[in-house]
Chain A
Amino acid sequence: MRSERDVMNLLEDWLADGAQPMPDHILETVSETIPQVHQVRPRAFDRRMPRALVATAVAAAVIAAIIAGPEILLRLRGTDRFLPAAAPPQVRLCDTPTFRAPLTIDTLQTGVGPMHVTTGDFNGDGATDFVVANELDGAGTLGVVLGRGDGTFGEPTRFASGRAWFVAAADVNEDGSLDLVGASPAEGSVAVLIGDGLGGFAEPRYFPAGDEPRSLVVGRLNGDQSLDLAVAATGSNAIAILYGDGRGGFSGPEQVATSGTPSSVIAADFNGDGHNDLAIAMSEAQDLEVLLGDAEGGYGVPRLFPANFPASVTAGDVDRDGRIDLVTGNPGMAGVAVLIGDGLGSFGVAQFLPLGEGHTPGPVIVARLDDDLVPDVAASDFTDDNVVLFRGEGGGRFALTELIKVPNGPLGMASGDFDGDGRTDLVTSDANANSATVLLNGCGG
């Protein structure tokens, strides 16, 4: 049997050898075509353009098309194929997040009360799947829904998990397949379900995780290479750290006291020292708490950053300066807060994005939802049943662009490419409707 390294070496040689110079006729066609393809200017420019000028430009373009005719063809040298000279590209790009009509999947089959959802490729087929945490489904289940890669899904399968409120996917036993970790506040434990790489999961193993664990993050938190867990133990005002053994087992928990009641935790390297740090949202506290981690799994003095009562937190480089920033969902204040990181473990004054009364944004996601590479933000709005989209405008600034109606009670939200078009799609777990709703990023198509 060949080693992984041997296969990679062969593969790299084969790929390099198979690399082809781009045929000259493509460059010639492109250079002849681009004068007829108008560049799309940023929207800010469009907005400043007077309507009369826009109308004149549109009319001129229409007249020009009529005169020139749509049948101008450029022959591709060396082939018998033809390409319309100014043919609009078939793959469109969007400068604002645009989603198709929600596709609701009846998760009564997967369980009752899906509280949370996460995504991953559970059967190794390259298509994105998702799993919902069904806290109230009998003794509690995780409902796995395998994607087909085209935006459709197979029948859900439920796996016993205890009363999981939250679910994460990671390869905790390092066998190359995703495993599931559910946090059960009712039972004070996490359930670890080892994946078989084919979409199936073994019976759960339970590990104590403090009092009322409601959220968790998987990451390397001490000096070894195994994945560990940081669990928001709501009832004990602490983060419970469980250290992984790389085989799917966990020891601990070690409790790290927090300054309030933790509701959500995220791990990332905020200060660039190569070690994961933690950011903790506490819905009943004004501040976001940051714990800077060291090489051995220890944490420094908590740092507090005003964030308007955050209940959930996620991390991402929203201003693309190479430093991790934080985005929080603030249901009590009906908005979302963005805290720009300085790369040294501190965060700037929160930029608050209000949604208005009647909205309760919960989980937030940072992802590029349009095609401009500037990260955008999506939040699920639990009481008004929306997915809320904020378009990134660069420099860490955001503009509210759309509220998409979804079924009752979207308490969880996750992202992934469900239809294989390269765009980030969204899925919500609709706790009150017993469903999951998939929003395919359609770019208006």
Chain B
Amino acid sequence: MGAVDRALIERARVGDELAFTRLAAAFGDRLFSIAYHIVRDVGPAQDAAQEALILIWQQLPRLRDPDRFEAWAYRITVRVAYAEVGGRHKSRPKLVVMSELRDRVPDSASALSDRDQLERGFRRLSPQHRAVVVLKHYVGLSDDEIAEILEVPVGTVRSRIFYAINTLRAALDADDRPGVKRGLA
């Protein structure tokens, strides 16, 4: 952690709106991706990212240590994403599907099947499990850093990762079993 420009953080803390906009542009992609991976739905992920950014702006003067900015921002984003998954916007229709947002390089049939199974397995995970997986395997944080952000013991982080990986492995292995046709499972 610590890649975000400290000068921008300092300026945004004292109310510099332009600095905050630049800050948001610099790390917004990561916040949005974290939110998306936790809620697995583009519309709510957009709402979560937007709400997280406004909260970050609103509360930034209270962040005493700018070096902790990223951890603090991740924590807020995860919390807002939890609220989204918790049904705050369950009635909202999906407006955008992922395939419309991103041009993909064509994958092989087996890779596509793996992605399908990962998607299914990932959706079976609770938001808390997803958050740990995303912070570790997407953001690249250590178990200790994740524990600090999520306010859970390190042992809980490890047990959630263990559970999540086994769930995903079960999903992938289910597709490998004889009689299960690749890509059609």
Contact = CB atoms under 8 A, between A and B. Distances in A.
A21 B15 contact: no
Given A26-B46, A39-B15, A422-B82, A121 B75 contact: no
A37 B56 CA distance: 11
Given A37-B54, A81-B95, A422-B75, A20 B101 contact: yes
Contacts of B46: 23, 26, 76
B17 A35 contact: yes
Nearest to A126: B126
A18 B98 contact: yes
B166 interface: yes
Interface in A409-423: 416-417, 420-423
Interface residues of A, number: 72
A34 B17 contact: yes
Interface in A1-51: 1-2, 4, 7-8, 10-12, 14-23, 26-27, 29-31, 33-35, 37-42
A368 B125 CA distance: 26
B80 interface: yes
A357 B64 CA distance: 34
Interface stretch (A230-238, A369-377, A430-438): A369-377
Interface string B122-165: 00011111000110011000000000001111011011101101
Nearest to B69: A373
A34 B20 contact: yes
- The dominant DSSP class at the A interface is loop
Contacts of B168: 7, 10-11
B61 A42 contact: yes
A130 B82 CA distance: 21
B51 interface: yes
A154 B113 CA distance: 38
A53 interface: no
B5 interface: no
Contact of A372 (B57, B64, B95, B137): B64
A20 B42 CA distance: 9
Nearest to A4: B165
Contacts of A149: 126, 128
Contacts of A8: 137, 165
Contacts of A128: 152, 156
Contact of B169 (A4, A34, A39, A424): A4
A90 B51 contact: yes
Contacts of A306: none
Given A10-B172, A29-B50, A171-B159, A417 B151 contact: yes
Nearest to A26: B50
B58 A37 contact: yes
Contact of A169 (B57, B61, B65, B155): B155
B53 interface: yes
Contacts of B163: 124, 126, 176
Given A11-B133, A26-B32, A368 B151 contact: yes
B31 interface: yes
A226 to B, nearest CB: 14
A417 B151 CA distance: 8
B33 A176 contact: no
Contacts, number: 217
Contacts of A17: 104
A37 B15 CA distance: 11
B172 A420 contact: no
Given A15-B37, A176-B159, A371-B59, A27 B21 contact: yes
B57 A15 contact: no
A178 B46 CA distance: 36
B102 interface: yes
B55 A89 contact: yes
Contact of A177 (B59, B71, B125, B159): B159
A125 interface: yes
A29 B151 CA distance: 30
B127 to A, nearest CB: 7
A41 B61 CA distance: 6
B3 to A, nearest CB: 16
Contacts of B151: 367-368, 417, 422-424
Contacts of A39: 15, 57-61
A34 B24 CA distance: 11
Contacts of A126: 125-129, 160, 163
A83 interface: yes
Interface string B166-180: 101100110010000
Contacts of A127: 126, 128
B167 to A, nearest CB: 9
A126 to B, nearest CB: 3
Nearest to B102: A20
B128 A33 contact: no
Given A40-B59, A120-B156, A127-B128, A26 B118 contact: no
Interface in B1-50: 15, 17, 20-21, 24-25, 28-29, 31-33, 36-37, 42-43, 45-46, 49-50
The 9 closest A-B pairs by CB, nearest first: A126-B126, A422-B79, A22-B32, A176-B162, A126-B128, A22-B28, A19-B33, A15-B138, A31-B21
Given A34-B57, A40-B58, A320-B68, 17 more contacts: A2-B172, A19-B36, A20-B42, A26-B28, A26-B32, A27-B28, A30-B50, A31-B24, A39-B60, A42-B61, A76-B46, A89-B55, A91-B76, A120-B156, A373-B64, A373-B65, A417-B151
12 contacts: A8-B137, A15-B134, A19-B33, A20-B101, A39-B59, A39-B61, A91-B55, A91-B79, A124-B159, A371-B75, A394-B65, A420-B86
